[in-house]
A and B are shown apart, each in its own frame.
Chain A
Amino acid sequence: MTERDSMEPFETRFAERVRAYTQVATTRDLDPLQVSRDAMSARPADRRSLRHVGSGLFGRPIVGDRWAAVAVAALLIGVVAIAVQGRPSNSRVGGSTPGPSATAGLTVSPGGAIPDALRHPWQRPSPVAPGPDPYGSGFLDLTGESLELGHVSGVTSSRSTIAVADPDTLLVTATRETQECVIGDSGAYHWIVEGSGTVLTLSPISSDACSARERALAGPWVRSDLPAHPVVGTTMAPGTYTTSAFDPLGDPGLPSRLRYTLPAGWQIDGDDPGTFVLHHDTDVAPGKPPAVMPALLPAALAGPTLARMERRGYDPFLPVEIAPWRRQWLIWRAARNPDRIAG
């Protein structure tokens, strides 16, 4: 028995616990081809520093004179800038270029950028007439360079790069292996956008190498990023949501959002950068109309603000600031029990 597989009972148990502990890190969705392309396009200058790798885990930086490196970089940038300015205006400077192995079964488009009309999230149309739904549910995210397709976002979805072959033709090349698809499978689709840009119809021009993608992609799609009705004041369906404006840290340099999970019967009363208010349908105090409650909630801050002003050292020329999380907590408690508004 070698050292590699000889473990004491504790080590065996520990190894199992480590695997369970690190399991969460493996659930991230990864696009190997995209990672590969990113790695190949990353230059050493993009890195935080140049380091030894493989010659020791804790190697020292190999760049000794940083100022010299900066001077060389500035010189190179200057040379490139002069070269760019000297080129004809219609030359493609800085555009995406095919990767070093673009010939390895992958097709590269010569046709230019993906039209803006296509760069939206799309979903299958809901049937408006009784009868079987010919397309079912699904989502399609089109960006300037890629396409993601599936039933639930991020879960076993199909990813491909897209490129323009002709003005009305897209070349689609798989970058993720899924059922019936391998990396590099490509197909060409004719596209047309109608209905003021809200309906996209895709038709395969020839048989897609990935038949599952052809079945999922062909047909009509409608834009899913059109403005929705405001959610404030409506009872939310149970589920997980993300705030749209509330910034719990209140730091413009570190914008953040709050993700929250609601059971049934909750409403949003306010979602702005300073406050986020939820209340349950049963929370509204008897005798007070629910519609006016959100307007009264900020009054819950009055008591603590006045208390601050009574502290020793209070400067009347400076505003009294209550910490964002405390403010949120006070308003949330007031929303839960309106009697707390008056302190």
Chain B
Amino acid sequence: MVAEAEPGPSIVERAVAGDEVAFARIVAAHHDDLARIAFFVSGDLDIAEEAEQAAWAVAYRRLKDLRDPDRLRAWLMSIAANEARQIGRSRRRRTVRELAVADRTPRADVDHAAMIDLANAVARLDDRDRAIVGLRFIGGFDAAEIGRELGMSATGVRVRLHRLLERLRKDLGDD
């Protein structure tokens, strides 16, 4: 059986009241989104995993402050992006990186060259821009929703996204 998303007010209220099963359902429903945005912002699987774990703790603590349950998905993703950014910054200060040797078998159906190009292009963006692009293309949110989560105006997000996409289009050679 697969856990289904139940983003309605009832499940949020139950989670706020301390129902661990309700919160587990929120976790199951939004795990993929949080993992994706954390990885997109950090570019590192370990950081993404740590960021998601930290994000759930923050989310539970602040869940009672979420006034509009319809915002739950965007709110959770912005927390994960924030955690990934902060953990990534602290990790970059270290001089030793963990080695990953033959960790996974390459998938035949994935264009690895394209993935490397994308990873490099994304890595050249700053943390804030990666969060904007991630919320747009992983979360599918519009400028107003992104702006609400990031504390920016919708117009500001729109302009920023336009410039970022131009830059990414150029970096990826997609003219």
Contacts and interface: CB of A to CB of B under 8 A. Distances in A.
Interface string A99-136: 11110111000000000000000000000000000000
B97 to A, nearest CB: 10
Interface residues of B, number: 77
Interface string A48-63: 1001011111110000
B126 to A, nearest CB: 11
Interface in B23-76: 23-28, 31-32, 35-40, 45, 48-49, 53-54, 56-62, 65-66, 75
A185 to B, nearest CB: 10
Contacts of B58: 47, 51, 53
A177 B143 contact: no
A2 B96 contact: no
B101 A260 contact: yes
Q: Most B CB atoms within 10 A — which of A13, A19, A183?
A: A183
B6 interface: no
B1 A179 contact: yes
B102 A57 contact: no
B19 A4 contact: no
A4 B18 contact: no
A18 B59 contact: no
Given A58-B128, A177-B3, A249-B99, A17 B114 contact: yes
A57 B24 CA distance: 24
Contacts of B18: 40, 99-101
B60 to A, nearest CB: 4
Interface string B94-133: 0010110111100000110011001100100000100101
Contact of A38 (B31, B53, B101, B133): B53
B19 A259 contact: no
Given A4-B140, A21-B115, A33-B20, A256 B98 contact: yes
B155 interface: no
A290 B61 CA distance: 62
Contact of A3 (B104, B122, B131, B143): B143
Interface residues of A, number: 68
B59 A57 contact: no
Contacts of A35: 24, 27, 31, 53, 56
A36 B49 contact: no
Interface string A33-48: 1011111101010111
A22 interface: yes
Contacts of A184: 21
Interface of B: 1-3, 17-28, 31-32, 35-40, 45, 48-49, 53-54, 56-62, 65-66, 75, 78-79, 81-82, 85-86, 90, 96, 98-99, 101-104, 110-111, 114-115, 118-119, 122, 128, 131, 133-134, 137-138, 140-143, 149-151, 165, 168-169, 172, 174
18 contacts: A14-B169, A18-B138, A19-B137, A21-B40, A22-B36, A32-B24, A32-B27, A35-B27, A36-B23, A38-B56, A47-B57, A57-B149, A58-B85, A100-B20, A101-B18, A183-B21, A254-B96, A261-B102
Given A24-B45, A51-B58, 5 more contacts: A20-B115, A24-B104, A48-B86, A179-B1, A261-B102
Interface of A: 2-5, 10-11, 13-15, 17-26, 28, 30, 32-33, 35-40, 42, 44, 46-48, 51, 53-59, 99-102, 104-106, 175, 177-184, 240, 248-249, 251, 254, 256, 258-261
